[in-house]
Structure 1
């Protein structure tokens, strides 16, 4: 089994029937959140390996306990199964098996959703015309040397932070502390795992530390 790869984060409930908004962390949302897809569940703030992938959801178990409104008790479930998904006003809305009301949806807020890197295949497939060359697993990035477009060394990528606003690269500084670099093409134009480096083209002030 490979390491969990985060593909989304559950946001606020939408409506009263159990739908939730998803903060998408993948370039392939239609595939990752297709009905029937099974996603690992990582507790907010939990370790990267806290999402198991071999235990069925309570909602798929005929003997699962249910709440007053018919929602399954998912407190011990380590995976969630997508019942339906749709786009609404630019947001992805997903309903999971066993989540039938707003209260159950609210209980999932902040949950990180993962896939298994071994089972998902490579992030980019040469034979898939719908995919791009800009999708990287966290493990591809951690450990890379960072330098500016002018060639100045910045440090090493030590973490990929999945924030509601998007991914942020944490780069350790030789003198202590970290640079926090938004992981967008305009600021990180080059990612070269084969060469063990990324290139950062920082806007004014980004590298200034107090």
Structure 2
């Protein structure tokens, strides 16, 4: 059974395979600030009932992968038990940062105010995040960059998208009629 962390905790990483014999693990990073989150002495909330907190004792990078050791995890066997455990941290308020929980359920409109769909999620990706929009029964992945998403207006309950042609399913604009 998983802990039920506060809504304010965010996924920073997921523990992967054990490395070596001393309890070192690989971590799939889910934060854009790993150098702050994963440093010796950092105490991270975990999704494990058996080990609700983990203190980082050592950090290194090897072949583009983040490798961590935790206080009290001294063997490969102990490290393997942690595989799949989520590492959670407190969220930080940033002016230009949005969390999925802030966006989900907001109405998506084009720059003229026509409704395109509803935000259903946010997917991190290496180049830029993707805004998931439920539109006409399909999920549209919108690059979450200022050129395409110029306004996020949570106080108005909407997100404005300046979508390039073909990004959203074809739709008839109100007032246009078929001239054939």
Which range, TM-score by smaller chain? 0.5 to 0.7
Higher mean displacement: 90-99 or 147-156: 147-156
Q: Whose strand proportion is higher, 1 or 2?
A: 2
Partner of 1:171: 133
Q: Which one of the candidate residues 141, 144, 152 is aligned to 1:181? A: 141
Change over 3 Å in CA distance of 1:185–1:138 after alignment to 2: same
Deviation, 1:169, is: 4.4
Partner of 1:139: 101
Query: How far apart in 1 are the matches of 2:120 and 2:56?
Result: 32
Deviation, 1:161, is: 5.5
Alignment of 1:55-66 (within 5 A): none
Q: TM-score, normalised by structure 1?
A: 0.59
Deviation, 1:188, is: 5.8
Change over 3 Å in CA distance of 1:40–1:203 after alignment to 2: farther
Q: TM-score, normalised by structure 2?
A: 0.67
Partner of 1:20: 25
Deviation, 1:100, is: 1.6
Deviation, 1:182, is: 6.8
| 1:192 correspondence with 2:166 | no
Tell which structure's C-alpha radius of gyration is larger.
Answer: 2
Change over 3 Å in CA distance of 1:103–1:192 after alignment to 2: same
Q: Does the 8 Å contact 1:157/1:169 carry over to 2?
A: yes
Partner of 2:177: none
Larger RCO, structure (CA 8 Å, separation 6 or more): 1
| 1:86 correspondence with 2:86 | no
Partner of 1:55: none
